[in-house]
Chains A and B, each alone.
Chain A
C-alpha cells in the first residue's frame, strides 16, 4: 500500500506542469541546509535539503538529506523522494547508491535486492551497482552474499576486474586467503594506495597459508603496491626481516625509495637497527644525499656495524661547523667502536678548532671508550683528562673507575648518571652489593664484557664469586645472564644450580630458579619445569618474581592459552 502511495505521489509530481515546478527553485535552500546541518538542526536541514532536490544541487542535496534523516532516525523518509528522483534520472549512480544504502540500513533485504537489480537493468555494463551492493553486504558481515554478487558481476560484465577490492575482502572474510591475496594483488596494481587495507584484511590468515600468500605478492612482475602490502603484512605477523625481503628488490624508482625510507624509519623507531641500516643504504644507492647518508650511518652504528658507518660517513668535507656537529661525532664513535681509538683521537684533535668545548668533551669521552675497548686504560684516562674537569665525574670516568677495580669511585660517579641503560643498572646493582672499595677481578670482568669478550667475562664473574662472599650470588647471576645471551644454556644451568645450592637465601635465588624453569620449558621439559616453579613459589612466596612464576606455571600446565589463533566462536 505504502509503495503504491509513493508511486502515485511520484507520478503526480512528474505529471505536474513543468512551468509550475520551475516557478519555485529555491537556489539558496541548499546553502541554508548546509548551515542548519552544521548547527545540528537536522529537522530544518532536512526540510531545506528536500527543497533543493529539484534544483541543480540535487545530487548533493540527496546526500545531505541522507545524513540528516540518519541523525533523526528517519531513513525510511528517504525512500519516496528517491523513487521520484530515480524515475527522473535513472542513470544517476548517486541516487541509486543512496537508495541501496537506505534499504540496507532499514534491513529491507528484499527491497535492497530489487533496487540493485533495477540499477543493473538501468545501467547495463556498469560495475557500479555490483560494487555498491557488494560493499554494503561486506559491511553487514554478509561476505558470502557479497561474493555471490561479485560472481553475478562476472557473468553480467564478463569480468570482475573493477571489483577486485570487494572480491578480495569477501574472500578474506570467508577464510579463502589465497584467493583473497590474488584479488588484492589485482586491486593493488590499479590502486597501490590500498596496501594498508590489504594488509589489514589478510592479517588474520593462519600460519599454514602464509607461504602461499607470500608467493602471490612476490610473484613477477614486481609491483610496488603488492610489495608494500606484503611488507605491512609481514610486520603484522611479527616477521620484520621478511618484511624487508619483500621490499629490497624493488626497482630503484621514486616510489621504491619512498617505500624503503618509510620502512627504514619504522624499523629505526622499533630499534631494529640492522633492518633500518639496510633500508637506508638501499635508498641511498638510488637517491644519494648527505642527509640520507648520515641517517644510514647512524643506523649502522646503532646496529653494531661501525665499519659500514665509517664507509657511509666519509671523512671528506668535515671542515665546516655543520658537518663537524653531525658527521664528526658519528665518525669518532664509529672509529672508537671499530677498535681504532687512535684515529678517533686524531680526528678530534684535527678538528678541535671547529668544536665547542662541550662537543669536544663528549667526543673525548667517546675516544676514552675506544681506548677502554682496546684495553688501554692509561690512554683512556688521558682522553678523559682532555675532556675537561667535568669528565672526572662523567659516566665514562665512572666506567673507567669500574674497569680499574675502583668500586668506590665507580659507585660515586655512576650513581649520578642519567643513563637508563640496562648495562648501567646491572653494573650498579652489582657493585652496590659489594662492601669493598676495590676489586680488581670484578673490574677485569666488566672490562672483558666491555671488550665484547663475553666468554672471558662470564668466567671472570664466576671466578670473582669465590672471592667476594657478600656479592657471590650476584656475580654468579651476572655470569649466568652472559651465558644465556651466548646461548650457553648448559653453563647457565650449572651456575643457577650453584646459586640455589650455595646461596639459597640470596636475593638472586628466586630469579635463578625462575630462569632455570623457563630454560626447562623452552627445552620441552614441562614436568620438571613445573617442579622447579612450584618449588620457587613455595620457597620464596614474598619474591616479586612469584607472579611471573605463577604465569609460567599456568603455561606449563596448559591452563591458559599460550598464543595462537582462537577457534570459530560466537
Chain B
C-alpha cells in the first residue's frame, strides 16, 4: 500500500475513532522508545509524523527514554512500524500511569503533538534529494515535503507552509564562492544561468539582488509565525543577505561590481536573525564569507579540525522548545563540516539560545531563537554522517545510519512545529 493511500485510510480510522470514543486517550497506547532500545530512530519520527498526518494525536515524552513518543495503538500504526523496523512497545494503563508519575517528578515533560506541519524545502528544481541532509532524512523517514525555490518564494507561496528548510543556498548570490574552483564545471554554469534567468524574470539586475529579496521574504515568513530550519551555508548567508539589504557585499564575479569597501560598517544587523557584528571576507579569492563560521573548511590556511559537540540539557518543564530540539539518545556527537560548520560566539546575538557547543572552542554548533511570531533554528555543517563531504561524493545511505544522533536533531526540528503551544512557565 502506498503511504498516501495509507494516510487516507488512517484519516478515516481516526475520524471513526473520535466518533466512537470522544475521549480519544481511552484507546490503548503504543510507546515508541527513543533510547538504545529503538532499532530505527529516524523512521520513528516518520511513524509519528504519519500518525499526526492521519489525525491521530500523539505525545512527545521529553527526556523520557531518549525523547519517546506515545501513539494510539491502532493496527495500521503497528503495521507501519513493523514494515519500517521501528521498535514499539505496548504499554498498559498502569504502566503508563507510572511513566506519567515519573515524568511529573523528574526533569521530563509531555508535549501533545497535534497536527503534522506542512513542510517546504528551499531547493533548486533540478536538485536530487540526496544533495541535502534534510531531504535525505525526510525521504528516509517517509515525511512528505514540497520543494520550493525562487519562483515559489517570489509568488508568495511560503504562506502555504508551516516549516521551511534551507541548506546550501548562498543568499549573498555568490554561489558559496565556488566560482573560484568550479567556474568551468557544467553544473556550475547551468546553476548560474538558471539563477540569472530567474533574477531577470523578476526584474532584478543580478543574482545577489534576487537572493536578497528572497532572503527578505524568508525573514517575513518567520516574522509571520513560520518555523525556519537552516543548515550548512544557508545559515550564515541568509543573515549576511538580510543585514546587507542596502550594501553591496558580493564580489565582482557575481554582480559586476566589487564589494563596497565599507561594507562591514554599513551592515544592518538588526535585520539578521541570529548574528551581529560579523566581519565580511573581502577577498574574492578566499573561499569564506565572514568570520561567523568557526571552522572555515574551504580555506586551507584557516581550516579548524573537527571535534565533538555537546547538547545542552534544558529543563523540560521550563524550556520545552529547547528541550524538544535536543531530544537524543546521545549527548555528545561527532562534528561534521559544511560550507558553514559552526558559529563563532562573538557573532551571536544575546537573545540566541545555544543548543549545542564544542567544549573549549570559540564556536557553537546549534542555535535557536524567536523572531517576530516565528522561530528559527540553525544547525552548522552539511551531513551528520559524512563529516568531510565534498562535491561529487556519493550520497549518504541512511539505512546504514538508522540511529544517527546527528540526523535526529534534524528530525526533532520537523516535529517541533507539531507541538501544541503551552503557556511558557518562565
Contacts and interface: CB of A to CB of B under 8 A. Distances in A.
| Chain A bound to chain B | yes
B181 A561 contact: no
Interface in A524-538: 531, 534, 537-538
Given A145-B180, A175-B186, A538-B83, A570 B130 contact: no
Interface in B44-103: 79, 82-85
Interface stretch (A91-99, A125-133, A547-555): A547-555
Interface in B391-426: 391-399
B211 interface: no
B131 A567 contact: yes
Interface stretch (A105-113, A249-257, A315-323, A363-371): A105-113
A541 B82 contact: yes
A174 B392 contact: no
Given A538-B82, A538-B83, A560-B139, A109 B395 contact: no
Contacts of B398: 560
B83 A569 contact: no
Interface stretch (A136-144, A285-293, A300-308, A417-425): A136-144
A570 B184 contact: no
A107 B299 CA distance: 9
Nearest to A140: B300
B61 to A, nearest CB: 25
A233 interface: no
A175 B395 contact: no
A142 B180 contact: yes
Given A105-B301, A144-B182, A570-B168, A560 B397 contact: yes
A564 to B, nearest CB: 8
Given A144-B182, A175-B187, A569-B168, A553 B83 contact: yes
B128 interface: yes
A145 B182 CA distance: 10
A144 B177 CA distance: 12
A107 B395 contact: no
A238 to B, nearest CB: 14
B200 interface: no
B253 to A, nearest CB: 11
A176 interface: yes
Contacts of A564: 394
B185 A550 contact: no
A134 to B, nearest CB: 14
Interface in A127-185: 140-145, 147, 173-176
B382 interface: yes
B127 interface: yes
A569 B180 CA distance: 15
A570 B231 CA distance: 11
A204 interface: yes
B33 interface: no
A565 B392 contact: yes
B218 to A, nearest CB: 21
A144 B84 CA distance: 46
A41 B396 CA distance: 44
Q: Max chain B CB contacts within 10 Å: which of A141, A176, A564? A: A141
B391 A560 contact: no
A5 interface: no
B42 to A, nearest CB: 10
A184 B295 CA distance: 35
B389 interface: yes
B130 A566 contact: yes
Contacts of B79: 538
B302 A107 contact: yes
A220 interface: no
Contact of A534 (B1, B187, B191, B286): B1
A398 B391 CA distance: 56
B130 A567 contact: yes
Contacts of A140: 300
B12 interface: no
Interface string B378-391: 00001100000111
Contacts of B111: none
A176 B82 CA distance: 48
A142 to B, nearest CB: 6
Nearest to A113: B285
Interface in B183-204: 183-188, 191
A102 to B, nearest CB: 12
A543 B425 CA distance: 49
Most buried by A among B168, B299, B300: B300
A561 B130 contact: yes
B1 A566 contact: no
Nearest to A175: B185
A534 B85 CA distance: 11
Nearest to B302: A107
A109 B301 CA distance: 11
A145 B253 CA distance: 14
B338 interface: yes
Given A141-B300, A568-B391, A174 B85 contact: no
B162 interface: no
B337 A570 contact: yes
Given A538-B79, A547-B85, A561-B130, A566 B394 contact: yes
A537 to B, nearest CB: 5
B14 to A, nearest CB: 22
B131 A568 contact: yes
A491 B21 CA distance: 52
B1 A173 contact: no
Interface in A436-476: none
A109 B282 CA distance: 13
Contacts of B399: 550-551, 554, 560
Contacts of A561: 130, 394-397
A559 interface: yes
A198 interface: no
Contact of B392 (A109, A553, A566): A566
Given A559-B142, A561-B130, A565-B394, A570 B232 contact: yes
B339 interface: yes
A482 interface: no
A527 to B, nearest CB: 8
Given A106-B301, A109-B283, A140-B300, A570 B339 contact: yes
B391 A569 contact: yes
A174 B301 contact: no
Given A551-B399, A560-B140, A566 B393 contact: yes
A279 interface: no
A570 B182 contact: no
Nearest to B3: A557
Contacts of B132: 569
A546 interface: yes
Contact of B181 (A105, A143, A569): A143
A552 B382 CA distance: 27
A536 to B, nearest CB: 10
A176 B395 contact: no
Nearest to B139: A559
Interface in B158-191: 168, 178-188, 191
A254 B237 CA distance: 59
A7 B142 CA distance: 66
Nearest to A147: B184
Contacts of B397: 560-561
Contacts of A546: 85
Given A568-B131, A570-B390, 8 more contacts: A175-B187, A204-B392, A534-B1, A554-B140, A566-B395, A568-B191, A570-B382, A570-B389
Interface of B: 1, 79, 82-85, 127-128, 130-132, 139-140, 142, 168, 178-188, 191, 232, 283, 285-286, 298-302, 337-339, 382-383, 389-399
Interface pairs A-B: 9 shortest CB-CB:
A107-B301, A175-B185, A561-B395, A567-B131, A566-B395, A570-B382, A561-B130, A174-B184, A569-B131
22 contacts: A142-B285, A144-B182, A145-B285, A174-B184, A531-B1, A534-B1, A537-B83, A538-B79, A541-B82, A546-B85, A547-B85, A554-B399, A557-B142, A564-B394, A566-B393, A567-B130, A568-B182, A569-B131, A569-B168, A570-B168, A570-B389, A570-B391
